[in-house]
Structure 1
Amino acid sequence: MAAPGLQQWKVDKPWLELKCALGEGPFYEKETNSVRLVDIKKSQILTVSAADNGDGSSLKVIQLDTRPTVTADIEGVDPQDRILIGVKHGVAVLDRQAGTYAMLVQFNEENNGRIRSNDGAVDPHGKLWLGTMTDFEHGEPQPEGFLARFDSSKSKEDVLTGLRIPNGIGWSPDNKTMYFTHSTSREVFAFDYSLETGAVSNKRLWYKHEGPGEPDGFRVDVDGNVWHAIWGESTVLKINPEGKVIGSVTLPTRHISCVQFVGTELVITSAADDEGDDPSKKYGGSIFKVDVGTTGLDLFKFRL
């Protein structure tokens, strides 16, 4: 893993001990200088001030009756009013004041009861790319998930099928390359992304993880490096555009799920760890942050 000469950061303590069962999808909300994230297993959307001193006093929780998996801003809409969310059965618009949501697109799959959405991201054309996977109560993930894109016409366009755990999605600084992580195969793929049409082509293996953990969610920085959470390995890797590991962040809990830039700080989500050692158990489900000296690309907004 970490070779001599690599940039290295070490985080010993959480920023916020939120005790998430499965903290995921951190998103920086510029308008309110806050970080929002989801706890998939607890069916919650959490928001906290980016300036929180670590006591969690700014925490706001929206409890849903469905599993939210990812959030995105909507173009031209105040995120304090409404945001886009991936949920168990599809894509929905959340009214944050009322704490209620309206379905935008249903998956309508034959195996809809077995699957749920997972990670996703909005592309430069304002469409949401969202992956699905076997839901928790149905055991080990089966190759029944897909990666699809959704737009305001309420259509669903399958891009990849037969997936087990589709995960992070993001774009290079020039938007010409799209990255997609398939966790179970420990692979991150690159595609050529058409600026004109939004179509992808030329799928190729960009990074293959050799460690015991699985690559989960990621964000891309302004220099095109991918900061990739590694589930099961207490690590975030910094991977350069050529697919080489050039840095690592070590954390005190195993199940690292995703990252988000807030200025030059990397905010890092995690999940509960019932089987790890004492520190990992203690800090599982916490939120961490570390100054890594660079900034991330802005995430795109959904065109409703």
Structure 2
Amino acid sequence: MSGLSRYNVEVVDSTRYALGEGPYYDPRFKRLSWVDIIGQKVWFIKNGKKECIDAPQPVGAAIPLADSEGFALALKDGIYTYENGKLSLMADLKDVYKDYWRSNDAKADAKGRIWFGASVIDGSDHEAEGNLYLFDNGKIGIKVEGTKIANGMAWSFDKKKFFFSDSFEHAVFVFDYDEESGSINNRRELFHVDENISDGLTIDSEDNLWVAFWGGSRIEKRSGATGELLEVIPIPAKQVTSCCFGDEDMKTLYVTSAGTGLDGEYDGCLFRFRTDVKGVSPDYCVKI
């Protein structure tokens, strides 16, 4: 299925999601989760059973909570916790976002703080715009102002670098990162995107990035030190959106895609393939 590649790309779930995004493997519960932003659902597979959570708004991301099986949900008007079937507001975004913005990608850092991006609502006539924010100890601050589409995020193994994909800036950037304060500075372009659009990303234990390409039917493995292209892995879906490492050895890469407006057999499906490198284990959870 994967064409000229040393990886065997498999379809995990043949459901065609409108805008599959934000995969996350939680090793505590052996649970893979992802969202359908437009479909307003959080999906997860646990013990071989697929289940979903209905969200009242477009859901940009679902990040596992540190102290329960619940999630922090990045919705249009706020960051919410979801536990035991109940939504509770953590951070009100009504006065933070413009009324035509929604939450996009979001991740927690090692301190349990939430990094989240805003982007223009799908189908809007407005030009791409937004900001990258940090929710820390009850306060919301702007970390990168004037983003186009705030997307993939990752931290280096030594927690001294922060990686960030701004899709319509057509680049993946790297910043110096201070873990204690959460400050980022000295932004520079790690690599420029010449073809298609960089979307979500993850990082492996060797500090290499695995980047999804919207419109590109591929994952690219890139050096986190130089941005050099190391490998290209074809994915049989046009709009590849994000990826994460998972399974007990953290060597399986799970890949999401979007299917809206497309008619390819696997557009919008969830994929996986085995790699020869471990992802960062575990990914980080939200502390409340």
Q: Secondary structure, in 3 states, of the residue corresponding to 1:237?
A: strand
Q: Take 2:203 and 2:222, find their aligned partners in 1: how far apart are those partners?
A: 9
Aligned residue for 1:55? Answer: none
- For 2:166, the equivalent position in structure 1 comes to 182
Task: Tell me by how many angstroms 1:73 deviates.
Answer: 2.3
- Letter matched to residue 149 of structure 2: I
Task: Output the CA distance in 2 between the equivalents of 1:90 and 1:141.
Answer: 22
Indicate which of 24, 30, 35 corresponds to 1:27: 24
Among 102, 106, 112, the alignment partner of 1:120 is: 106
Other structure's SS at 1:295 match? coil
The equivalent residue for 1:229 is 212
Q: 1:296 to 1:13 in 2, by over 3 A?
A: closer
**Residue 9 of structure 1: how far off its partner (Å):** 3.8
Higher strand share: 2
Alpha-carbon distance between aligned partners in 2 of 1:87 and 1:44, rounded to the nearest angstrom: 11
CA positional deviation for 1:103:
1.4
How far off is 1:74 after superposition?
2.4
Query: Which residue of 2 is the match for residue 105 of structure 1?
Result: 91
Cα 1:13/1:74, change in 2 over 3 Å: closer
- The answer as to whether partners of 1:17 and 1:283 remain within 8 angstroms in 2 is yes
* Residue number among 136, 145, 149 corresponding to 1:165 in the alignment: 149
Report the equivalent of 1:254.
238
The residue that corresponds to 1:70 in the other structure is 61
| Counterparts of 1:151 and 1:12, CA distance in 2 | 38
Which deviations, in whole Å up to 9, do the C-alpha atoms of 1:93-148 show, x marking residues without a partner?
Answer: 012x32x31111112337532000000211222211100011114235432x1111
Instruction: Read off the aligned partner of 1:19 and give its amino acid letter.
Output: R
Q: Which runs of 5+ in 1 are unaligned?
A: 1-6, 53-57
| 1:175 to partner: Cα distance | 0.8
Change (3 A) 1:108 1:284: same
Q: Is the 8 A contact 2:10 2:273 kept in 1?
A: no
Contact 2:19/2:260, CA 8 A, preserved across alignment: no
Amino acid at match of 1:142: A
Determine the structure 2 residue equivalent to 1:215.
Answer: 198
Quick one: which amino acid aligns to residue 213 of structure 2? I
3-state SS of the aligned residue for 2:189? strand
- Name the aligned partner's letter for residue 85 of structure 1: L
Give runs of aligned pairs for residues 82-93 of structure 1, distance below 5 A: 82-93=70-81
Normalization by structure 2: what TM-score?
A: 0.92
SS at match of 1:113: coil
SS of residue matched to 1:184: helix
Aligned with 2:28: secondary structure?
Answer: helix
- The 5 A counterparts of 1:40-51 are 40-49=37-46
Report how far residue 10 of structure 1 moved.
4.9
Show CA shifts across 1:137-194 (max 9, x none): 4235432x111100232x1101122222110111011110000110012111100001
Deviations 1:69-94 (A, max 9, x none): 1122223x122xx2211111121101
Distance 1:253 1:202, change over 3 A: same
- The ranges of structure 1 where at least 4 consecutive aligned residues each deviate by more than 6 angstroms after the TM superposition are none
Could you tell me whether the CA contact under 8 Å between 1:11 and 1:252 is conserved in 2?
Answer: no
